[in-house]
């Protein structure tokens, strides 16, 4: 398999956040050498993949590996000086001038900070390890080290009982002068501490009206600060969009290493053993860490193309016929398209007329000729529902 996009899952965390259902390993001390030894065994098992165009270290908390651990992953994955994007997820309290310089020296050029909120009371409820005062210095340290892009994660739609001021959090995130913001609406996942709190009646999910209001507020404030939403959950200043994540949305091949990591070759998807200890044992025994695999049937692939395309600001190109291979992602019924547009959930943009043509396409009609359909913020709020209805 030839893959230019690599993902490495680093599962270690000091504690589990209230809302987290990810594959993590809570450790007081991070077993860096053990992890890197197992990771090297897995990388060696993989088909030659060549120098990556992008490398993404997610988790968990990859920043807990320190400067040396991140540099070793870069070496194992064949990172060279021409990597387009090398992203490291980090907790603000793990970032110091020294670690930031070490990460930059290893090739990291994009830092994704799990800020989540600027309210200390909210951070304690989330079970985060940092406080609000750590966020801005982490951004400054990354900048001083020469890391080109800094992104902040924020969670919205928290329980009413917290009384969180989301506008204030957005304003403080903007004041940090980050290049990118990723927004995540809080979801209550089974088996998490949050799910148990809800079951005990200690809190409840935010009402739909506030979920929508906070999401639209983020669009308003970030747009006013020079950001553009290029995907349902991501906003960036010009030229700072995530290259690695675009590969996922475009169904490009990628390789994943580490516990619970997923890979995709364009036809099949496979995933690793999720538990850290089991992943290590399998590799130490010379066994494959792969826990499961699926081959995408054509209808599933078309549905994923539709869903992923509509996640982005580019949307999808509409087609005018099903052809011999059956319906394609852009083959939406005209009545569906018109209903979405009339409801304010989508917009049509006509393709440019061919050179020398005086034709002016009618933006109200998806046919004749190609045009693009993209969702509005109101449509993005209903993305799952809209795709399920086609």
Summarised one tens digit per residue, pLDDT across range 173-221 is: 999 999 999 999 999 999 999 999 999 999 999 999 999 999 999 999 9
- pLDDT-derived band at 366 (thresholds 50, 70, 90) equals very low
Q: d(Cα 103, Cα 320) in Å, to the nearest integer?
A: 49
Q: What is the pLDDT of residues 228-259, one digit of tens each?
A: 999 999 999 999 999 999 999 999 999 999 99
pLDDT class of 319 with cuts at 50, 70, 90: confident
Question: Smallest Cα–Cα separation from 311: which of 381, 240, 227, 256?
Answer: 381
Other beta carbons within 10 angstroms of residue 384's beta carbon come to 9
286 sits in the region (left: phi over 0; alpha: psi -120 to 50; else beta) called left
- When pLDDT is cut at 50, 70 and 90, the band that residue 34 belongs to is very high
Composition of the chain by helix, strand, coil, percent to 5? 40, 20, 40
Mean pLDDT value of segment 311-321: 85
Mean pLDDT of 103-110: 96
Provide the pLDDT for residue 293: 97
pLDDT of residue 353: 43
Counted residue by residue, the chain has a size of 390
Q: Indicate the pTM of the whole model.
A: 0.91
Q: 336-359, pLDDT tens digit by residue? A: 999 999 999 999 987 544 444 344
Mean pLDDT of 8-35: 94
pLDDT at 2 (0 to 100): 61
The CA-atom distances, in angstroms, between 223 and each of 167, 214, 227, 341, 377 are 14, 14, 5, 22, 12
Contacts (Cβ under 8 Å, ≥6 apart) of 140: none
| Mean pLDDT estimate for the chain | 91
Share of the chain above pLDDT 90, in %: 84
Residue 331 confidence class, pLDDT cut points 50, 70, 90: confident
**Is residue 1 very low, low, confident or very high in pLDDT (cuts 50, 70, 90)?**
low
pLDDT for residue 229: 98
How would residue 80 be classed by pLDDT, with cut points 50, 70 and 90? confident
Sorted by sequence, the CB contacts under 8 Å of residue 91 that are 6+ apart come out as 61, 63, 64, 113, 114, 128, 129, 130
CB 261 within 8 A of CB 7: yes
Determine what percent of the chain is predicted with pLDDT higher than 70: 91
- Ramachandran angles phi, psi of 42, nearest 5°: -70, -45
Q: Give yes or no for residue 124 having a pLDDT over 50.
A: yes
CA dihedral over 346, 352, 354, 360, signed as positive or negative: positive
Is residue 132 scored above 90 in pLDDT? Answer: yes
pLDDT confidence of residue 30: 96
The mean pLDDT value for 303-325 works out to 80
88 pairs with which residues across the strands?
57, 111
SS3 195: helix
Domains and CATH numbers, the chain: 5-249 (3.20.20.70), 320-388 (no CATH)
The values of phi and psi at residue 255, to 5°, are -115, 140
Tokens of 165: 């001021």
- Tell me the three-class secondary structure of 25-65, residue by residue: EECCCCCHHHHHHHHHHHHHHCCCCCCCCEEEEEECCHHHH
**Model confidence pLDDT, tens digit, residues 283-312:** 999 999 999 999 999 999 999 999 999 999
């Amino acid at each position: 398999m030839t893959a230019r996009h690599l993902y490495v899952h680093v599962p270690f965390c000091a504690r589990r956040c209230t809302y987290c259902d990810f594959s993590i390993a809570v450790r007081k001390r991070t077993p860096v050498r053990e992890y890197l030894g197992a990771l090297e065994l897995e990388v060696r098992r993989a088909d030659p993949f060549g120098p990556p165009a992008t490398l993404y270290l997610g988790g968990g908390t990859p920043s807990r590996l320190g400067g040396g651990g991140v540099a070793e992953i870069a070496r194992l994955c064949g990172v060279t000086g021409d990597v387009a994007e090398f992203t490291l997820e980090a907790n603000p309290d793990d970032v110091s001038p020294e670690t930031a310089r070490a990460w930059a020296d290893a090739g990291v050029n994009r830092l994704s900070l799990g800020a989540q909120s600027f309210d200390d009371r909210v951070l304690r409820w989330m079970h985060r390890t940092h406080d609000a005062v750590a966020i801005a210095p982490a951004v400054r340290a990354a900048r001083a080290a020469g890391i080109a892009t800094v992104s902040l994660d924020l969670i919205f739609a928290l329980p009413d009982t917290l009384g969180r001021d989301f506008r204030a959090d957005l304003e403080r995130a903007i004041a940090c002068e980050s290049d990118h913001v990723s927004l995540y609406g809080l979801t209550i996942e089974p088996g998490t501490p949050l799910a148990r709190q809800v079951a005990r009646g200690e809190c409840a999910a935010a009402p739909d009206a506030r979920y929508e209001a906070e999401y639209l507020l983020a669009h308003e404030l970030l747009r006013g600060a020079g950001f553009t939403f290029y995907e349902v959950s991501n906003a960036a200043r010009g030229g700072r969009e995530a290259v690695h994540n675009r590969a996922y949305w475009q169904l490009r091949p990628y390789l994943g290493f580490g516990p619970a990591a997923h890979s995709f070759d364009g036809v099949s998807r496979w995933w690793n053993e999720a538990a850290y200890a089991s992943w290590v044992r399998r590799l130490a025994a010379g066994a494959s860490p792969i826990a499961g695999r699926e081959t995408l049937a054509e209808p599933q692939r078309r549905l994923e193309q539709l869903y992923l395309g509509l996640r982005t600001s580019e949307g999808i190109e509409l087609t005018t016929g099903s052809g011999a291979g059956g319906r394609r992602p852009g083959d939406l019924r005209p009545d569906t398209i018109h209903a979405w547009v009339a409801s304010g959930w989508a917009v049509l943009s006509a393709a440019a007329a061919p050179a020398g043509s005086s034709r002016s396409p009618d933006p109200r009609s998806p046919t004749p000729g190609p045009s693009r359909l993209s969702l509005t913020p109101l449509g993005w709020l209903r993305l799952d529902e809209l795709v399920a209805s086609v």
